[in-house]
């Protein structure tokens, strides 16, 4: 086969891959059914525009938006802003707003409100009727701040290749997840052990509760904990998790962790360390421990007796949706406005 033919074939393959990348990353970026930080952003009344919402987590300042995208905020609106863009919002948008609205923030690992230097300007503003935020650290004393989940991660793969997957729209990712849910065993019918894969992703800057290497050290000799031996494609990891009743879910780089919410959607009972996030788990089958050594056979039996059938409850499933959390915020906001 001649060099010209080989070159043409290589160019054709490259063009096909490039087309696939463009088609998937530029596909619809729309809200999902299950709770997802960007899904909540897209469902807010004002959010800075789809491009601003879609930009990948981890961007560094200055991450600017067009202030005109926040013009026309009305009384009772839910207004989403990325944590990293809050300085611009406070300086360029808030002074011009006359309506009273609910502020919704997230998509960075900052603890809020303590992690934002100008938090007091938001807390003291009469225009901010209530502040809903991911990674709420429990330090607010005004009653004006409450937490919302970080939810699942449908945005990373929508932006780039990751975890063994080509880029895919949030809708396509959720379709795969729903297909897996349709065939996964009930929680009570699974191995009554704790699955762990957090050790593949450790962060030196984790906030509170000890770094993941410390959690791994506490659990690595525990016969009730099964550590994944190698990295898997995400869909393969999801399928593996459906074999187990429990998942160990230490904190992420921030207080909250996608793994916790992902596990709940997969029918796992997450085991988490006590934190300011505890109110988010009310009514959900989540085990909160003060010490990772609490994971032992007797407690697992007791926790399964308590939570094993909880996933059959419609109200529990509803709490795992964007719809629930948007309605929750609207109800809380209306109470603050009245």
The domains found in the chain, sorted by start residue, are 37-152+323-337 (no CATH), 156-320 (3.40.50)
Mean pLDDT of 283-292: 98
**Spatial strand order in the sheet of 128-133:** 78-82, 101-106, 128-133, 145-147
Distance of CA 183 to the CA centre of its chain: 24
Report the predicted TM-score, pTM, of the whole model to 2 decimal places.
0.88
Would you state the pLDDT for residue 3? 54
Would you state the pLDDT for residue 129? 99
Check pLDDT > 90 for residue 306. yes
Does 211 or 264 have the greater pLDDT score? 264
Mean pLDDT of the chain: 88
Would you state the pLDDT for residue 189? 97
Would you state the pLDDT for residue 26? 54
Kindly report, residue by residue over 125-155, the tens digit of the pLDDT: 999 999 999 999 999 999 999 999 999 999 8
166: its two tokens: 């080509």
Kindly report, residue by residue over 112-123, the tens digit of the pLDDT: 999 999 999 999
Check pLDDT > 90 for residue 16. no
Would you state the pLDDT for residue 15? 40
């Amino acid at each position: 086969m001649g060099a010209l033919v080989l070159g043409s074939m290589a160019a054709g393959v490259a063009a096909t891959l490039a087309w696939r990348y463009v088609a998937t990353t530029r596909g619809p970026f729309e809200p999902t059914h299950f709770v997802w930080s960007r899904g909540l952003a897209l469902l807010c009344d004002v959010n800075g525009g789809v491009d601003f919402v879609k930009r990948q987590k981890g961007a560094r300042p200055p991450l600017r938006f067009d202030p005109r995208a926040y013009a026309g905020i009305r009384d009772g609106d839910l207004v989403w802003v990325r944590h990293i863009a809050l300085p611009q919002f406070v300086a360029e948008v808030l002074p011009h707003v006359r309506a009273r609205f609910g502020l919704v923030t997230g998509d960075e690992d900052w603890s809020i409100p303590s992690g934002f230097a100008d938090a007091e300007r938001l807390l003291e503003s009469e225009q901010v009727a209530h502040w809903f935020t991911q990674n709420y650290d429990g330090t607010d004393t005004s009653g004006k701040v409450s937490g919302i989940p970080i939810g699942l991660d449908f945005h990373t793969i929508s932006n780039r290749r990751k975890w063994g997957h080509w880029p895919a729209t949030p809708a396509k990712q959720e379709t795969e997840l729903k297909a897996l849910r349709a065939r996964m065993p009930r929680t009570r019918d699974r191995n009554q052990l704790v699955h762990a894969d957090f050790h593949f992703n450790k962060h030196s800057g984790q906030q509170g509760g000890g770094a993941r290497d410390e959690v791994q050290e506490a659990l690595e000799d525990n016969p009730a904990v099964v550590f994944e031996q190698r990295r898997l494609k995400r869909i393969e990891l999801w399928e593996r998790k459906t074999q187990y009743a429990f998942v160990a879910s230490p904190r992420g780089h921030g207080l909250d962790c996608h793994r916790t919410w992902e596990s709940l959607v997969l029918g796992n009972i997450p085991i988490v360390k006590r934190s300011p996030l505890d109110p988010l788990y009310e009514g959900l089958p989540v085990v909160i421990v003060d010490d990772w050594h609490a994971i032992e056979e007797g407690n697992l039996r007791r926790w399964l007796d308590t939570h094993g059938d909880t996933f059959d409850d419609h109200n529990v499933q509803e709490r795992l949706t964007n719809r629930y959390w948007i309605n929750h915020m609207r109800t809380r906001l209306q109470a603050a406005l009245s």
